[in-house]
Structure 1
Amino acid sequence: MTILESIILAIVEGLTEFLPVSSTGHMILTEGILGMESTAYLKAFTVMIQFGAILSVVIFYFRRFLPFPILGFHPDETTSLGGWRLYALMIVGCIPAAVLGGLLNDQIDALLGNTWVVLAMLSLGGILMIYFDRIFGAKGEKRVTVTNAFIIGLFQCLAMIPGVSRSMATIFGGMQQGLTRRQAAEFSFFLAVPTMFGATLLKGYKLYKELGMQVFQENWQTLLIGNVVAFLVALLAIKFFIDFVTRYGFRAFGYYRILLSVGVAIVLLLGANISLS
C-alpha cells in the first residue's frame, strides 16, 4: 500500500464512517477502483483506521465523556447521554456486537471482498432509510434506558454485513426506540467508540498473530497517516451530519445509497472490473 492510497482510503473512511452510507462498502469499492490487491494488511488497515474516526467522536463530544470535572472542564449536564451513565449505556449497547463479532469474524471477513453483496445492501438500506425516515422520528427527546441501549445494540449487529452501515443500523434502532433523529445519531456515534475500538484491537491482534510484528514495522507510516487523516475528516463529517439530519432527516442519504449502488452495478455489468482480486 502506498501513502497516497492510505490517504485516499482514510478520507473515504472519515467522510463515511458516521454517515448512514456504509464506510466499509465505500472503502471496498474504492479499493476496487484503485486496483488494490486484497491482502491481510489491507483488510486490517480498513478496520484499524477506524481508531482515528472514533477519536474524533471523543474530541467532538469530550464534555459528554467527562464523568466529573477535569482541569476546569465540566461534564455536559444538559443531556442524559453523558457522564458515567453514558459509559454504562455504551457497554450495554456493544454487548450484542461483541458476542456475534467474535463468533462470526471469519464469515464477516469472507464477505468483505464481495462487491455484489455490498451493492445489494447499499440499495436495500437506501430503500429502508427512505421508508423508516417517514414513519419514525420523535418530536421530543427522551431519557435513553438500558433496554433502549441493548435493543439498539442488536440493530448494530446488522452492520456486520458489508454495505449495511453501522451508523444506519444503530440510528434506525434508536429511532425505533423513540429517540429523536439527533439523539439517535449521537448515540450511534457513542456506541461506535467501544465497538470500533474493540474491533481495531481484535483485527490488530489477528494481524500480529498471522504475520508477526514485521507487518507493523513495514507499514507504520500508512497506518499512522491513515488514522490522522481519518480523524481530521471525521471531525468535519460529524458536524455536517448532525446539522443536516436535524433539519432534513435521512432521506437524502437513502437516495444517495440507491443511486450509488445502481451506478456501480451498471459499470460492472458493462465490463469494468472494480472488485477486489
Structure 2
Amino acid sequence: MNLLKEQLCTAMCADISLTEVGDGSYFVSTPFTFSDGDNYAIYLNRLASGGWRITDHGLTMMHLSYDLDIDKLKDGTRAKIFEQILGEHGLETDDGELFIEVPADALSNGIFTFGQGITRIHDLSLLSRINVESTFYDDLKEKLLEICGDGLEINYSVPGLADHKLYPIDFAISSKKPLFIFGVSNREKARLATIILQYLQKNHVVFRSLIVYQDMWAIPRSDLSRLTAAANDQIPSLDNVDDLERKIVDATAA
C-alpha cells in the first residue's frame, strides 16, 4: 500500500508544475486540457489572509464561447445547470472570471475542486441529448420572441374546444388565421404534434401550422411522413432562422 501510494504521488507530481507569472502569481500546469488541446487555465494569487485565490482569469468562458453563445448561460436550462455547477463546487464569477478562495492548508483540494468545476462548465458545450432537447425549446422560444415580441402566446390551447387542455400548442401567433407552432425534438413529440393537429382539424378549428424541428432528419420516416401530411409548413432546424422568420411573416399576413 505504501509503495503504491508513493508511485501514485510521484506520477501525479510529475504531471503538475508551477510557473511564476509575476506579482506573486503562479500558473498551475496540469494534464487536464480543453477540447482544442489547451491546458486548463489555473492560476494562484496569494491573499492578504495567507490563503489563495484560484482563478482562471476568464479563459474558461473564452473557450466555452467557441462552441456556445455565452449569453445563453443567463437564462433557461443552461443557466440552471451553470448555477448548479457553481454552487456544487463553491465557485464564484466576476465578469467572466471563475475563481475560488481557499485557506493555505486547503490549496490542493481547492485546485482539484476548481479543475472539476472547469470540466463540468466546459461540458455545457457538450450537453447530453436530453439536455440539448431541453435547450432546444428555450432557443426556439427566444427566436420566436425576437420575431413576434408580445404577439407570441406560449402553451396555448383553443378556448371553447372540448378537452382543450389535453391538446396544448407550444406557441400561437394571433392573426386572421392563427398560426400554431410546434417544436419537435424527437419521435414522441412528432407523434404528439400529429395527434393534436389532427384533433384540431377534426373539430374544424381554423388555423395554420408550422413545425420547427431540432433535427428533421433524426425523426423516423414514418412519423415524419404523418406529421408532414398534417402540418402546413415546416423548418428542418433552428439553423434556418431566416426561413423561420419569412414563413411566420407569410403565414400571419395571409
TM-score (norm 1): 0.24
More strand by share: 2
Bigger RCO of structures 1 and 2 (CA < 8 A, at least 6 apart): 1
Greater radius of gyration (CA): 2
More helix by share: 1
